[in-house]
Structure 1
């Protein structure tokens, strides 16, 4: 196969997007969420994986966390991978990593990226559905279950456990 044939072959393959985020908690188990200024609602620190530059999902989650909330911390294990389909865009593979427990000093060190974020807060597990979009709610709850159960990661499809 020539270089041109290979490039044509690759150009014809399906496209998949990737996003990555970190799940941070405080010592009471509350979840850190951020409020973007470019859409309604709340999300986790994270964003698009810049795969065209060779960035991995873990690197993307750490970069986005450092950019958005000013915390550049090594991330723990992968908690959830979610295959998220939509009729209006290619599928997204969403990776959610354990950001760990932030003590008072780390929480006080949060510095928001003002170009993208309005505020941050800590919420109880029971409040997750009231603040986060439905798909992200399912992802966060699955991640908290992984942390509680000492197993993981969870494999999801559109927020629900993948079936074989």
Structure 2
């Protein structure tokens, strides 16, 4: 294969969007959500992975957390990976990492990125479906399930768990 053939092959591959977020909680188990100004609904702190810079999903989640809420937090394990089909856009692969339990001091230190976010709040896990749109509610619930079970990350498609083969 020539260099030109390889470049044409790469250019012809399907496109996939990628994002990463952090799941933060308080001592009572409530989940930190942020309200973006560019779309409806609430989301986890996070955003697009800048793959052109060599950024990894984990690095993106940490960078986006620092940019969006002003906290630089070492992230814990991967909790969920979700393949989300789209209409009028390429599919999205979304990574969710454990951001841990934040202290009162950390919550007081939150500074929103005013160019993107309107507000933040803590939400009880059972109330997440009323705040998160589409497959995001299932993704966050699955990430919480992974935390509780302690048996590894969840593989999801459109927020729904992919069946695991029997051992």
TM superposition score normalised by structure 1: 0.97
Q: CA deviation at 1:3?
A: 1.5
Question: Over residues 89-130 of structure 1, what are the superposed CA-to-partner deviations in whole Å (9 max), with x where a residue is unaligned?
Answer: 111110000000001001101000000001000010111011
In structure 1, the residue matched to 2:106 is 106
In structure 1, the residue matched to 2:64 is 64
Q: CA deviation at 1:37?
A: 0.8
Aligned-residue RMSD, C-alpha:
0.9
In structure 2, the residue matched to 1:48 is 48
In structure 2, the residue matched to 1:4 is 4
Structure 1 segments of 4+ aligned residues over 6 angstroms from their partners: none
CA distance in 2, matches of 1:60, 1:107: 21
CA distance in 1, matches of 2:133, 2:2: 46
How many pairs are equivalent?
164
Question: Over residues 125-161 of structure 1, what are the superposed CA-to-partner deviations in whole Å (9 max), with x where a residue is unaligned?
Answer: 1110111112110001001111111111000011111
In structure 1, the residue matched to 2:36 is 36
**Secondary structure of the structure 1 residue equivalent to 2:151:** coil
**Secondary structure of the structure 1 residue equivalent to 2:35:** strand
In structure 2, the residue matched to 1:84 is 84
Q: CA deviation at 1:30?
A: 0.3
Does 1:20 pair with 2:20?
Answer: yes
**Secondary structure of the structure 1 residue equivalent to 2:90:** strand
CA distance in 2, matches of 1:134, 1:28: 25
